[in-house]
Structure 1
Amino acid sequence: MDIQQRTAQAKELWQGLESYPLLQASLGVLALLIVAVLLGRLLRLALSRGIPLLARRPALGWLNDLANNGVFQRLSQTSPSLVVQFGLAWVPMLSTSNAHVIGNLAMAFTVLFAMLAIGALLEALLDIYARSAFARTRSIKGYVQLAKMALYVFGAIIIIATLIDRSPLLLLSGLGAMSAVIVLVYKDTLLSFVAGVQLTSNDMLRVGDWIEMPQVGADGDVVDITLNTVKVQNFDKTIVSIPTWRLMAESFKNWRGMQQAGGRRIKRSLFLDAGGVRFLNAEEEQQFSQVHLLATYMTGKQAELLAWNTAQRSSAHVPANRRRLTNLGTLRAFAQAYLDNHPDIHTEMTCMVRQLEPGPQGIPLEIYCFTRTTAWAEYERIQADLFDYLIALLPEFGLNLYQQPSGADLRTMLISSATLPRTLGAHSSSLAR
């Protein structure tokens, strides 16, 4: 009985407000807003509780990406404005003009949160794509950013058109006159987008590639490719941001080919003192013939030289008419055989020891080969071990490295020049006696 009395009192009170239409309409709108907010909260709570339960299934794991990027949260935020739009017809005493204004305002909020939901959906799709195998060769982050930019621009146009109660086509037609200004403002963005399309379609750049671009101070791994910039983490852990369009306008070196080939090049020279180059004598030839890596070379070369010198007959007694083995040529043959038998040198790639043009710093003997690994630390170890051994072996061939005089060399020379007159004086005195 009490409930019926209270209901009757509420009806009488509400009927009594009919003489105050503005107050009745305001209370109706307030009640509609409260209902809209409550429904929005309930929907958000239901999604936050239900989505994790559904995402436990392996086939629905992508729902976690949608939830983490706020897709469901943005969708739940559209429900209050939708409730207001459809509930205005139930608000009594609300004038048509006021209902139209409130409806436009609610529609603007609906478009806003729907636009944010679509943007969050694009980010979620980017996260899902990042876990696929295609993400290592194709980056779509630039396309996603461009799509979000276009989405926000058109969304803003629709929101403004809704608020001012005009057709969006009217605002879009005005963009034609502003196209020159838009192109000028977004020049770098448009250039970067075109460059990004070319880089991706031609497979010129991937996340994880080691690139080198000295003009911008970049020498490291690509960690991110966006619409406007490419981020490179240098080996000193600094980050360089390169405008995407510069990668098409200027040249850069990509080391991906080296990594895919499975071998990294060694190209370094030993600068030999030209004064140490000479012919081998018979004893040295016999000694080098016992070296395993030189046995085949020495046997074949000695037979070749013997045949040549025999063909010279009577003129063979002139030294210039005879062919003889040199210590430099024997060293070159030894280094080539050493590379061919080295377990860390890739023999299926170019492997040679060549002599370059002599210069002021001596005779360059270049080692040109490839290691079997592309790992930086392992590559440096192999290269260092190779040259350590060859440098230490030079005296065995009667050769020395060329190097400019150091302080110790000058000190030794000055000491020798100071002791030489005393030595000569003592020697002269002994002869006089």
Structure 2
Amino acid sequence: MSSKPITRYFYRIFTEDLGLNESLAQYLNLLINLVFTFLLAYIIYKVLRVFGERVVNKIAAKSKTHFDDYLVKNKTFLHISNLITINFISVLTPSILVDFSEAEIYAEKLVSLLSVVFIIALLRSILLTFKDFLKTMKAFKDKPVESYIQVFMIVVWLIGIVVIFSIITDRSLTKLFTGLGALSAVLLLVFKDTILGFVASIQVSVNDTVRIGDWISMEKYGADGDVFEINLASVKVRNFDNTITTIPTYYLISDSFKNWRGMSQSGGRRIKRAVLIKAESIQFLNKNEIEEFKKIQLITNYVGQRSSEINEHNNRIKADKSVLINGRNLTNFGMFRKYVDEYLKQHPAINKDMMVMSRQLAPSPEGVPLEIYAFSKDKIWKNYEHIMADIFDHILAAVPYFKLEVFEYPTGKDFSKDFKTKLKEINS
């Protein structure tokens, strides 16, 4: 009752002092009250904003924790200012509209609706603050925090929408939530992707399938790069060509993909590549050729030891070495394979604690593959490629020293040479 004389002060002046009719006096009184109310609300809002931007910012800058910094970043204090201001208006509304009972009902509904919206905005800013803060912690840095924040926001918005609908229709929240239970099948259909994404996010996190920062390859979706975001609906991958691929989170548990984390955490990155050797260039070695191979330092001891073992065996079985194929023999391909083994073992960029070998694969129409299988110490892509190129530069350049040839498909230039050679033979 104490507020009525204050809000009707101008009404008494207009009716008693100025002699205006009651209806006009009420409207003029309302107009002045609204102006004063909104002016006071604006002053309160500005004071809170200044306090939030200056005082709170200074406190946040000086504090050791970063949580308050993220509160400032996500404008939490702005939303608090909005909420306090709208509550101030809400308190004054019955007094301002004392002469307009019907308008008071609509005004209170409008203020209540704005309060709900500001509360949702405040909760959102707090959730975003928790997300940003958790991302700075080592335990949560590679976890899909965005997914859980989005789920909370969906729940908040659903509750907010129900409350807004309750305010507009004047129906109790109990009845509305009961009605939502009957619509659960429809809600499940509408939010199917959201539910699948949420379940997938939990499975990805619990099973530690993918973390933020992992390098993954998913050819089906053209993804080959680093994961930089995992949210409720999708996983975002920054490919090595700086394009971004978005993959539905659910597909990370329903489809297959390759995660290179194991390689990154291991002692090396695998080198697995083959050189194709022409089969017709592979041959037995005679004594003179064996002596020549002894000059290659990496296999000097091997050639001497191996040739002694073979000679001893051949003498024991009395092999007729006038024909080279008899008995046991060394081959240029075997020598080359041993040379590659020794070269890899002494290479400074190869991890000697992991598998290091060269192996002969099954012959193919393109030749006999000699595969190099080893692990580089450096796992950074650029450095890895340089190491592998350096190794194969040397191996390819070493092939002719063993009287071997690398397979290549003939080109037009090769056919031209053969044609000219045959033409000369015919003319001669």
TM over 0.5: yes
Equivalent residue in structure 2 for 1:242, among 242, 247, 252: 247
When structure 1 is superposed on structure 2, of 286-295 and 192-201 the one drifting more is: 286-295
Q: Secondary structure at the match of 2:318?
A: helix
Alpha-carbon offset, residue 137 of structure 1: 2.5
Instruction: State how 1:225-374 maps to structure 2 within 5 Å.
Output: 225-313=230-318, 320-374=325-379
Instruction: Output the amino acid matched with 1:13.
Output: I
Instruction: Output the amino acid matched with 1:35.
Output: L
Q: Secondary structure at the match of 1:370?
A: strand
Counterpart in the other structure of 1:191: 196
The verdict on how the C-alpha distance between 1:201 and 1:109 changes in structure 2, with shifts beyond 3 A counting, is same
Alpha-carbon offset, residue 57 of structure 1: 1.2
Instruction: Output the amino acid matched with 1:288.
Output: F
**Equivalent residues of 1:335, 1:390 under 8 A apart:** yes
**Equivalent residues of 2:134, 2:141 under 8 A apart:** no
Counterpart in the other structure of 2:5: none
**Equivalent residues of 1:111, 1:155 under 8 A apart:** yes
Counterpart in the other structure of 1:168: 173
Q: Counterparts of 2:357 and 2:276 in 1: how far apart (Å)?
A: 16
Q: Counterparts of 1:11 and 1:406 in 2: how far apart (Å)?
A: 104
Equivalent residue in structure 2 for 1:417, among 401, 404, 422: 422
Equivalent residue in structure 2 for 1:103, among 87, 108, 120: 108
**Equivalent residues of 1:33, 1:80 under 8 A apart:** no
Counterpart in the other structure of 1:430: none
The verdict on how the C-alpha distance between 1:292 and 1:60 changes in structure 2, with shifts beyond 3 A counting, is closer
The verdict on how the C-alpha distance between 1:88 and 1:314 changes in structure 2, with shifts beyond 3 A counting, is closer
Counterpart in the other structure of 2:120: 115
CA distances 1:376-402 after superposition (whole Å, capped 9, x unpaired): 121111111111111111111111011
Number of positions where the alignment pairs a residue of Structure 1 with one of Structure 2 = 415
Instruction: Output the TM-score relative to the length of structure 1.
Output: 0.89
**Equivalent residues of 1:142, 1:196 under 8 A apart:** yes
Alpha-carbon offset, residue 38 of structure 1: 2.8
Counterpart in the other structure of 1:13: 13
Counterpart in the other structure of 1:177: 182
Alpha-carbon offset, residue 113 of structure 1: 0.3
Q: Secondary structure at the match of 1:133?
A: coil
Alpha-carbon offset, residue 421 of structure 1: 2.2
Alpha-carbon offset, residue 58 of structure 1: 3.0
Q: Secondary structure at the match of 1:241?
A: strand
**Equivalent residues of 1:223, 1:231 under 8 A apart:** yes
**Identity percentage of aligned residues:** 33
The verdict on how the C-alpha distance between 1:372 and 1:60 changes in structure 2, with shifts beyond 3 A counting, is closer
Counterpart in the other structure of 1:429: none
Alpha-carbon offset, residue 119 of structure 1: 0.3
List alignment gaps of at least 5 residues for structure 1.
1-8, 424-433
Equivalent residue in structure 1 for 2:52, among 42, 47, 53: 47
CA distances 1:401-429 after superposition (whole Å, capped 9, x unpaired): 11121111101101101111233xxxxxx
The verdict on how the C-alpha distance between 1:11 and 1:379 changes in structure 2, with shifts beyond 3 A counting, is closer
Instruction: Output the amino acid matched with 1:283.
Output: N
The verdict on how the C-alpha distance between 1:92 and 1:302 changes in structure 2, with shifts beyond 3 A counting, is closer
List alignment gaps of at least 5 residues for structure 2.
1-8
Instruction: Output the TM-score relative to the length of structure 2.
Output: 0.90
CA distances 1:232-272 after superposition (whole Å, capped 9, x unpaired): 12222211111111111100111111111141111111111
Equivalent residue in structure 1 for 2:391, among 364, 367, 386: 386
Q: Counterparts of 1:202 and 1:80 in 2: how far apart (Å)?
A: 47
Q: Counterparts of 1:367 and 1:193 in 2: how far apart (Å)?
A: 44
**Equivalent residues of 1:354, 1:366 under 8 A apart:** yes
**Equivalent residues of 1:272, 1:362 under 8 A apart:** yes
Instruction: Output the amino acid matched with 1:165.
Output: D
The verdict on how the C-alpha distance between 1:10 and 1:25 changes in structure 2, with shifts beyond 3 A counting, is closer
**Equivalent residues of 2:319, 2:327 under 8 A apart:** no
- Comparing both structures, which one devotes a greater share of its residues to helix? 1
The verdict on how the C-alpha distance between 1:325 and 1:331 changes in structure 2, with shifts beyond 3 A counting, is same
Q: Counterparts of 2:21 and 2:72 in 1: how far apart (Å)?
A: 47
Alpha-carbon offset, residue 99 of structure 1: 4.1
Instruction: Output the amino acid matched with 1:294.
Output: I
CA distances 1:274-319 after superposition (whole Å, capped 9, x unpaired): 1111111111212222322112212321232123213213777775
Over aligned residues, Cα RMSD in angstroms? 2.4
**Equivalent residues of 1:54, 1:60 under 8 A apart:** no
